[in-house]
């Protein structure tokens, strides 16, 4: 990372932590240069970068100021109710019908699960694919269908070491996207009828997997900023025979919540006391806006209780379908189950990603991607404050590309979806994120696409629709 990028990150952290407040002047170039011991041109370059990330703006003859993302910032969502009853899961029909309605590529994609393809380095990745396939030894294409391509496992292990986790290479199993990894992990540690602790709200595919495997859910509330409610989890573990937990400890989908490191350690200690395995879904790990990458719960794992699942779908190329799991004490069972079901993900796709990670400039791409997502988050927050009712609540995640909106209670988000689709706008309605179809007045909106006049207009249209429920 260049000096000006590091300096920009330091100022961004001051803004994010509230030391520098919205509307406040950031240190002048001369002052910053003297105080931080960097050259004026480094400060200038850093401020241009922060301007580009949407965090500060220049005012004529006055210097740079922390940008007012929203003239009237909307408050954060409330904690979801204290729930931990057990329930069968039956949401697949609803999820499939909503997902089918989101497929039209001409709609404004607020309901999409992916960022814009424009933000991925697909051309560069295609070069890696062409070259590796051309040079691939025949033996590799035919015989390397085991736990994963060795180069890719090495590259993934290297990335882990940056976040303070050092899983042995033989713990790493490469899978067809994180979705396969998550499915395998759950199958290894449960039998039909078992209880699994999940988040409320949760990623809708989690619910579908539980439904398919005939598992029962214990919904644990998630605080929009701090993540899993550890008190509710503690009492649930004490009173119910929970066999596994499936949680996202960083950039939770759909709330965007991230637990801090102390809470992650407490979560681990709690699970360790009960010897309940954790399936840690960490697919948004690379999309953080903070200076330091968030560490996973896996970084506290002393005895292989955590199965940490990752993916390149959110940060590089969803269609290559490459994910993985660092499976801890369950790695061997996971690997065997994979051999019995899908054998191996595509070897050329694994080799291409391995080559790209080594030579393609992944870190540079990730920095650009994070900056674009952060800028677009600011645009959507500001637009929501302009167009949505003042009683709307919205999350403020420190990464990723989703915002979670809590509209006034009168809003029915499934009905809102139908109204929005008729106007060419999609959204992800709250009930698809709940085993018990809660969150009827909530929705997840995606800001992973470049912001333009059409996005702004779509927010204004949604705002009018939301108002119509309250009239």
Ligand X SMILES: Cc1ncc(COP(=O)(O)O)c(C=O)c1O
| Interface contacts to ligand X, rule CB under 6 A | 113, 177-179, 203, 248, 253, 281, 283, 311, 313, 318, 323
Shortest spacing between CB 52 and ligand X, in angstroms:
27
Residues 6 or more apart whose Cβ sits within 8 Å of residue 162 = 293
Shortest spacing between CB 101 and ligand X, in angstroms:
17
Shortest spacing between CB 311 and ligand X, in angstroms:
3
CA distance 450 to 119: 9
CA distance 385 to 340: 51
Residues 6 or more apart whose Cβ sits within 8 Å of residue 233 = 197, 220, 245, 267, 270
Q: Among residues 113 and 357, whose Cβ is nearest to ligand X?
A: 113
Provide the 8-state DSSP code for 74: P
Q: Among residues 199 and 229, whose Cβ is nearest to ligand X?
A: 199
Shortest spacing between CB 71 and ligand X, in angstroms:
32
Q: Is the dihedral of CA 356, 176, 123, 117 positive or negative?
A: negative
Q: Among residues 184 and 248, whose Cβ is nearest to ligand X?
A: 248
Q: Among residues 55 and 205, whose Cβ is nearest to ligand X?
A: 205
Q: Among residues 54 and 277, whose Cβ is nearest to ligand X?
A: 277
Contact 398, 258 (CB under 8 A): yes
Shortest spacing between CB 463 and ligand X, in angstroms:
26
Residues 6 or more apart whose Cβ sits within 8 Å of residue 81 = 221, 438
Q: Among residues 55 and 179, whose Cβ is nearest to ligand X?
A: 179
Strand partners, 108: 425
Shortest spacing between CB 130 and ligand X, in angstroms:
23
Q: Among residues 318 and 450, whose Cβ is nearest to ligand X?
A: 318
* 160 three-state secondary structure: helix
Q: Among residues 337 and 465, whose Cβ is nearest to ligand X?
A: 337
Shortest spacing between CB 464 and ligand X, in angstroms:
30
Strand partners, 405: 394, 443
Contact 293, 196 (CB under 8 A): no
Residues 6 or more apart whose Cβ sits within 8 Å of residue 360 = 121, 124, 125, 128
CA-wise closest residue to 255 among 213, 225, 285: 225
Residues 6 or more apart whose Cβ sits within 8 Å of residue 230 = 263, 266, 267, 270
CA distance 317 to 124: 11
CA distance 317 to 297: 25
Shortest spacing between CB 309 and ligand X, in angstroms:
7
Shortest spacing between CB 180 and ligand X, in angstroms:
7
Shortest spacing between CB 10 and ligand X, in angstroms:
30
- DSSP β-ladder status, 306-311 and 278-281: parallel
> How distant, in Å, are the alpha carbons of 45, 329, 375 from that of 52?
11, 45, 7
Q: Among residues 67 and 225, whose Cβ is nearest to ligand X?
A: 225
Q: Among residues 15 and 322, whose Cβ is nearest to ligand X?
A: 322
Token pair of 157 as six digits:
């292990």
* Closest residue to bound ligand X by CB: 177
Token pair of 219 as six digits:
């919904």
Contact 80, 201 (CB under 8 A): yes
Shortest spacing between CB 85 and ligand X, in angstroms:
23
CA distance 419 to 52: 35
Peptide bond into 137 cis (omega under 30): no
Q: Among residues 243 and 444, whose Cβ is nearest to ligand X?
A: 444
Token pair of 447 as six digits:
């800001």
């Amino acid at each position: 990372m260049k000096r000006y990028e590091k300096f920009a990150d330091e100022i961004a952290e001051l803004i994010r932590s509230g030391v520098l407040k919205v509307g406040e002047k950031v240190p002048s170039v001369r002052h910053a240069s003297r105080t931080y011991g960097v050259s004026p041109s480094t400060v200038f370059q850093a401020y241009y970068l922060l301007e580009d990330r949407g965090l500060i703006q220049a005012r004529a003859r006055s210097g740079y100021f922390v940008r007012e993302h929203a003239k009237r910032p909307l408050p954060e969502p409330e904690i979801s109710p204290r729930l931990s009853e057990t329930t069968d899961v039956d949401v697949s029909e609803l999820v499939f019908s909503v997902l089918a309605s989101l497929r039209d590529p001409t709609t404004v994609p607020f309901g999409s699960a992916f960022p814009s393809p424009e933000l991925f380095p697909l051309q560069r990745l295609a070069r890696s694919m062409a070259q590796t396939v051309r040079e691939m030894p025949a033996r590799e294409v035919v015989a390397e269908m085991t736990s994963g391509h060795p180069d890719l496992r090495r590259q993934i292990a290297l990335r882990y070491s940056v976040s303070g986790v050092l899983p042995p290479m033989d713990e790493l199993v490469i899978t067809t996207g994180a979705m396969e990894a998550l499915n395998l992990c759950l199958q290894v540690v449960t039998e039909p009828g078992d209880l699994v602790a999940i988040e409320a709200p949760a990623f809708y595919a989690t619910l579908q997997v539980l439904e398919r495997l005939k598992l029962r859910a214990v919904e644990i509330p998630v605080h929009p900023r701090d993540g899993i409610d550890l008190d509710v989890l503690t009492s649930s573990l004490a009173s119910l025979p929970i066999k596994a937990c499936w949680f996202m400890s960083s950039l939770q989908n759909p709330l965007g919540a991230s637990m801090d490191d102390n809470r992650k350690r407490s979560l681990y200690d709690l699970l360790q006391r009960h010897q309940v395995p954790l399936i840690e879904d960490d697919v948004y790990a690379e999309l953080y806006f903070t200076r330091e990458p968030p560490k996973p719960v896996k970084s506290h794992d002393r005895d292989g209780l955590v199965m940490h699942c990752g993916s390149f779908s959110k940060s590089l190329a969803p269609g290559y379908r490459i994910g993985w799991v660092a499976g801890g004490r369950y790695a061997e069972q996971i690997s065997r189950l994979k051999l019995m079901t899908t054998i191996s993900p595509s070897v050329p796709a694994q080799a291409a990603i391995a080559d790209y990670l080594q030579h393609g400039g992944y870190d540079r791409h990730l920095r650009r991607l994070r900056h674009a997502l952060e800028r677009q988050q600011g645009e959507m927050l500001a637009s929501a404050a302009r167009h949505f009712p003042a009683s709307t609540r919205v999350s403020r995640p420190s990464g990723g590309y989703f915002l979670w909106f809590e509209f006034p209670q009168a809003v029915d988000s499934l009905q809102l979806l139908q109204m929005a689709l008729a106007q060419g706008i999609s959204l992800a309605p709250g009930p698809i994120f709940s085993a018990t179809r809660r969150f009827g007045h909530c929705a997840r909106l995606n800001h992973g696409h470049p912001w333009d006049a059409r996005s702004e207009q779509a927010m204004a249209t949604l705002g009018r629709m939301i108002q119509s429920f309250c009239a």
